[in-house]
């Protein structure tokens, strides 16, 4: 339970950090375009609010969640944009209040969810900790879009470890999205945390590896920066190739960001 409490605490903190970026925006500020094509800041928050709401349904009302999935698959490539566009039409104060209320309700529902049981999702069922970790990743990634739109540099935190972990676990999925076969061997990944310690994944004796700042790796796997703009080192042809297609999010590969876009 202590571990789940930590993850849920990190989810709450990630939401609060992003809240701090948008809470004082004027009405015009909510319409500032973000690097995600066609999405302004209101779209970003509306998307997070919608996803939190659907996650809440999964935890509290399985029938309503199933109905949401059925509705989504009627527009499989556009339901995310559609939901964001719909939510973004709300007045900023209502949108912000709804996102805050939804975040709190989701945290409470995840904390109360029966231990050992999995939640249904658009992909395979997942544990409460995995659901919370996924929400951290998405909140951080969309928060980066908001920060970029506002010209703000965020202070990296230890919560990046959640994002990095998803990016590493999703390695084979990244290949599948591109209709490629993943390598048989695992990679060694060593990332320098914000406090200077090193986070590691994979076997010590792996022949291929990825090293560099944890922040850069997280920006890569969420496709918020171009590979060439990041201080990541890949050793081995397979590890090098992985960094060209890695993604931590579900669904199809995105368009990412252009080289030098944030220089």
Specify whether the CB–CB gap between 225 and 257 falls below 8 A: yes
Q: Is residue 138 part of a domain?
A: yes
Contacts of 179 (CB under 8 A, 6+ apart): none
Same domain for 115 and 140:
yes
Q: How confident is the model at residue 145 (pLDDT cuts 50, 70, 90)?
A: very high
Q: Comparing 123 with 97, which gets the higher pLDDT?
A: 97
Indicate if 20 and 101 belong to the same structural domain: yes
Q: Are residues 53 and 175 in the same domain?
A: no
Assess whether pLDDT exceeds 80 at residue 2. no
- The pTM score is 0.96
Residue 210's domain comprises: 160-242
Is 256 inside any structural domain?
A: no
Residue 91, pLDDT above cutoff 60: yes
Mean local confidence (pLDDT), 115-142: 96
What region does 61 belong to: left with phi over 0, alpha with psi -120 to 50, or beta?
beta
- 17 and 144 co-located in one domain: yes
Q: What is the CATH number of the domain that holds 11?
A: 1.20.120.450
**Residues 42 and 91 reside in one and the same domain:** yes
For residues 142 and 173, membership in a common domain is answered with no
Asked if residue 205 is part of any domain, the answer here is yes
The answer to whether 84 and 39 are in contact (CB under 8 A) is yes
Query: Is residue 223 located within the same domain as residue 112?
Result: no
The domain tally of the chain equals 2
Instruction: State residue 66's pLDDT score.
Output: 95
The verdict on residue 28 lying in a domain is yes
From residue 71, alpha-carbon distances to 30, 49, 169 in Å are 28, 17, 29
């Amino acid at each position: 339970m202590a571990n789940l409490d930590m993850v849920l605490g990190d989810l709450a903190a990630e939401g609060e950090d992003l809240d701090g970026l948008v809470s004082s925006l004027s009405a015009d500020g909510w319409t500032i375009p973000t690097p995600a094509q066609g999405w302004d800041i209101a779209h970003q928050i509306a998307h997070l609010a919608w996803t939190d709401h659907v996650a809440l349904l999964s935890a509290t009302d399985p029938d309503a969640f199933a109905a949401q999935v059925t509705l989504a698959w009627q527009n499989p490539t556009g339901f995310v944009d559609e939901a964001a566009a719909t939510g973004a039409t709300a007045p900023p104060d209502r949108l912000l209040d709804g996102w805050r209320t939804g975040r709190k309700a989701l945290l409470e529902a995840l904390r109360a969810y029966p231990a050992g049981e999995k939640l249904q999702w658009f992909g395979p069922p997942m544990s409460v900790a995995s659901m919370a970790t996924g929400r951290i990743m998405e909140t951080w990634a969309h928060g980066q879009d908001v920060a970029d739109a506002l010209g703000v540099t965020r202070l990296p935190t230890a919560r990046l470890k959640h994002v990095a972990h998803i990016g590493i676990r999703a390695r084979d999925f990244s290949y599948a999205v591109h209709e490629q076969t993943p390598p048989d061997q695992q990679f060694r990944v060593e990332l320098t945390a914000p406090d200077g310690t090193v986070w590691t994944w994979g076997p010590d004796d792996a022949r291929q590896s990825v090293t560099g700042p944890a922040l850069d790796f997280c920006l890569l796997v969420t496709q918020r920066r171009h590979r060439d703009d990041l201080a990541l080192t890949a050793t081995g042809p397979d590890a090098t190739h992985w960094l060209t297609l890695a993604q931590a999010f579900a669904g199809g590969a995105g368009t990412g960001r252009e080289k030098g876009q944030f220089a």
